[in-house]
Amino acid sequence: MIYKKKEFLVDNIKTSVLAKKYATPLYCYSFKKLKQNILNFKKNFKSIKPMICFSVKSNPNKTLLSEIGKLGLGADVVSIGELMRSLKSGIKPNKIVFSGVGKTSNEIEYAVRKKILLINAESKSEILEIERIAKKNNRKVNIGIRLNPNTDAKTLSKISTGKKENKFGVNEKVFLDLVNYSKNSQNLKLKCISVHIGSQILDIDPYKKMLKVLEKIIEKSRYQFQFVDLGGGMGINYNNSKKRLSLKKYSILIKKFLKKQKCQIIFEPGRSIIGNSGILISKVIYIKESSKKDFVILDAAMNDFMRPALYNATHRIIPVKMSIKKSKKRYEFVGPICESTDKFAIFKNFQKLKEKDLVIILDVGAYGMSLSSNYNLRPKVTELLIKNSKIRIIGKRQKLKDLI
Ligand code: LLP
């Protein structure tokens, strides 16, 4: 994805052509980038040979999931819907882990019948429910227990999950009790200790602390876990800043950790696999001048892409066509929705735009379409995949008539 002759291209295809043919707003993914991310992830962790389960919540598109499956990844799911879709996309049950604090009986029953790799339980009540369902089905079910390591992930507070005040996992004492309970159960096979401390982590220290906590608790439990599921959370570079998470360094830490533990690592990455492979193409509807800044009112809105409104996340916005003129403007990019939080970003020195110009919001592959909604009765938008210079519609724009 680069500018060529001043126009932004996705794998050699002009984004202006896409916008014209498929209308805006429009999500577009690059297969090349996706594949690159997966190969890069695998390369960095090569020495620990992890099982990589793509976090489906970050992007549950059927075609993307099947491509990700073909590139060798499994799936991390958090609902029966995600589980069904992963299976339908060709991901094998023995590569699927099921996380989440509130799995219903229905969901557990389905997972048990499908014989997935692991159900990662997050409470005593859930373990009892899995046991009851396993017994009813005359099965011994593989489970993990999610530990809350009380580790600050140093990320946006709204996407932090590993501190004791967060609802996720169980504390050390409960964990040890649950290990004892599960290992004596006829219908449970305890296989995994799991953690996930948060998302968009750019600092290696939280991971270092998390591994220390894990090391201690595994020792205390005196139990041989077959798997250690470290969750996901690896951050990406949204703002062109220098701060980056080194997967290589993380891999070295894990290698050390594995000297003491003989187990297989599972990862559940979402954002680091799909985040920078997606863009959102949008058209300027109006430009509204005001004293301190001009508002650029786009046809994309918070219902199409929620991260800025929900987490104050910042995403770069770039023009589809670079202007040769030098004049710069202070712009606030907003959507048409009737909410003040329906804004994407402010830029001090953006090239001068005019109505009907096209812009691109970058790095929306993860938690973009998956967080979108029909708020203000706006239809969900088209998704395209560019693979080997071919354009494929992988998500159809909803029709207004289906909404009304
Ligand atoms: N595993 C578990 C148990 C999780 O809860 C999550 C994300 C992941 C894996 C994947 O994390 P990733 O590698 O994508 O960071 N909507 C927010 C992010 C919420 C993440 C929720 N859990 C955002 O747009 O930043």
Q: What is the mean pLDDT of residues 316-321?
A: 97
The pLDDT of residue 239 is 87
**15 C-alpha to center of ligand 1: Å?**
29
Residues 6+ positions from 337 with CB-CB distance below 8 Å: 301, 302, 303, 375, 376, 378
Q: Are 281 and 231 contained in the same domain?
A: no
What sign results for the dihedral spanned by CA atoms 290, 292, 296, 300? negative
Q: Is 387 in the pocket of ligand 1 (CB under 6 A)?
A: no
Mean pLDDT, all residues of the chain: 95
Q: Are 187 and 131 in contact (CB under 8 A)?
A: yes
Residues β-bridged to residue 3: 8
- How deeply is 323 buried, as exposed, middle or buried, from its count of CB atoms within 10 A (0-12, 13-18, 19+)? middle
Q: Is 307 in the pocket of ligand 1 (CB under 6 A)?
A: yes
The pLDDT of residue 153 is 75
pLDDT at position 160 over 80: no
> What's the number of CA atoms in the CB half-sphere (13 Å) around residue 288?
9
What is the pLDDT confidence band of residue 155, given thresholds at 50, 70 and 90? confident
What is the pLDDT confidence band of residue 192, given thresholds at 50, 70 and 90? very high
Residues 6+ positions from 222 with CB-CB distance below 8 Å: none
Least confident of 155-164, 187-196, 206-215, 393-402: 155-164
DSSP assignment of 148-197 equals -------S-GGGB--STTSSSSB-HHHHHHHHHHHHT-SSEEEEEEE---
Residues β-bridged to residue 283: 358
pLDDT in tens, 5-37: 999 999 999 999 999 999 999 999 999 999 999
Q: Are 354 and 283 in contact (CB under 8 A)?
A: no
Among 221, 241, 274, identify where a domain stops: 274
- Residue 78 CA: nearest ligand 1 atom is 3
Q: Are 239 and 279 contained in the same domain?
A: no
Q: Are 325 and 309 contained in the same domain?
A: yes
- Residue 270 CA: nearest ligand 1 atom is 14
Beta strands in 230-351 (DSSP E): 264-267, 278-289, 294-298, 317-319, 328-334, 343-351
Among 242, 258, 274, identify where a domain stops: 274
The three-state (H, E, C) secondary structure of 77-98, written as one string: ECCHHHHHHHHHCCCCHHHEEE
Q: Are 127 and 248 contained in the same domain?
A: yes
The three-class DSSP label of residue 113 is helix
Domain that holds residue 339: 2-29+275-403
**58 C-alpha to center of ligand 1: Å?**
7
Active site residue ranges: 338
The pLDDT of residue 151 is 84
Q: What percent of the chain has pLDDT over 70?
A: 100
Q: Are 325 and 235 contained in the same domain?
A: no
Q: Could you tell which of 268, 274, 305, 306 is best to mutate to test the pocket of ligand 1, judged by most ligand atoms within 8 Å of the CB? A: 268
Q: Are 247 and 32 in contact (CB under 8 A)?
A: no
Q: Are 110 and 237 contained in the same domain?
A: yes
Q: Are 47 and 133 contained in the same domain?
A: yes
- Give the angle subtended at the CA of 20 by the CAs of 389 and 361, to the nearest 5°: 75
The pLDDT of residue 393 is 98
What is the pLDDT confidence band of residue 381, given thresholds at 50, 70 and 90? very high
Ramachandran bin of 273, using left for φ above 0, alpha for ψ from -120 to 50, beta for the remaining angles = alpha
The pLDDT of residue 240 is 79
Q: Which amino acid is at 344?
A: F
Peptide bond into 25 cis (omega under 30): yes
- How deeply is 20 buried, as exposed, middle or buried, from its count of CB atoms within 10 A (0-12, 13-18, 19+)? exposed
Q: Are 92 and 236 contained in the same domain?
A: yes
Q: Which amino acid is at 216?
A: K
Domain count within the chain = 2
Q: In 3-state terms, the chain is what percent helix, strand and coil (to 5)?
A: 35, 25, 40
What is the pLDDT confidence band of residue 167, given thresholds at 50, 70 and 90? confident
Q: Are 56 and 73 contained in the same domain?
A: yes
Q: Is 274 in the pocket of ligand 1 (CB under 6 A)?
A: no
pLDDT at position 323 over 80: yes
pLDDT in tens, 290-308: 888 999 999 999 999 999 9
pLDDT in tens, 90-104: 999 999 999 999 999
Residue nearest to atom 19 of ligand 1 (CA): 159
pLDDT at position 156 over 80: no
Q: Are 346 and 332 in contact (CB under 8 A)?
A: yes
**197 C-alpha to center of ligand 1: Å?**
9
**306 C-alpha to center of ligand 1: Å?**
15
CATH code where residue 248 lies? 3.20.20.10
CATH code where residue 293 lies? 2.40.37.10
CA distance 187 to 126: 14
**63 C-alpha to center of ligand 1: Å?**
20
Locate tokens 């020495």: which residue? 47
Q: Is 269 in the pocket of ligand 1 (CB under 6 A)?
A: yes
The pLDDT of residue 325 is 86
- Residue 269 CA: nearest ligand 1 atom is 13
> For residue 73, which of 61, 85, 100, 55 has the smallest C-alpha distance?
55
Q: Is 196 in the pocket of ligand 1 (CB under 6 A)?
A: yes
The length of the chain in residues reads 404
Q: Are 81 and 46 contained in the same domain?
A: yes
